[in-house]
């Protein structure tokens, strides 16, 4: 099962976005977003919700607790 870092990287690539574009979309510094993908840092609760909403996936999927993308 994938973890948070690999999930957001995969989701970003599916959308054809660069890290810089994701950082801007989420209102983050480029390096802050890169730290998420590198597993060096994790977003706060509001940040997790914003990312899940952007990709239209469940929080469980986003953090690697489930392989089911759909929100219920």
Read off the CATH number of the domain in which 26 is found.
Answer: 1.10.260.40
Whether 43 maps to a domain, the answer reads yes
Q: What is the pLDDT of residues 6-42, one digit of tens each?
A: 999 999 999 999 999 999 999 999 999 999 999 999 9
pLDDT band at 71 (very low <50, low <70, confident <90, very high): confident
| Residue 41 DSSP class | -
Residue 72, pLDDT score: 77
What's the domain range around 40? Answer: 4-55
Rg over CA atoms, the chain: 11
- Residue 56 tokens read as 């239209």
Q: How far apart are CA 70 and CA 60, in angstroms?
A: 10
Could you give the number of structural domains in the chain? 1
Predicted TM-score of the model (pTM): 0.91
More confident site: 1 or 54: 54
Contact 43, 51 (CB under 8 A): yes
């Amino acid at each position: 099962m994938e973890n948070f870092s690999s999930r957001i990287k995969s989701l970003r690539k599916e959308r054809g976005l660069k890290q810089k574009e994701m950082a801007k979309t989420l209102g983050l510094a480029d390096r802050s977003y890169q730290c998420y993908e590198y597993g060096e840092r994790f977003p706060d609760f509001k940040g997790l919700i914003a990312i899940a909403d952007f990709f239209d996936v469940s929080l469980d999927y986003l953090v690697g607790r489930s392989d089911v993308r759909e929100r219920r």
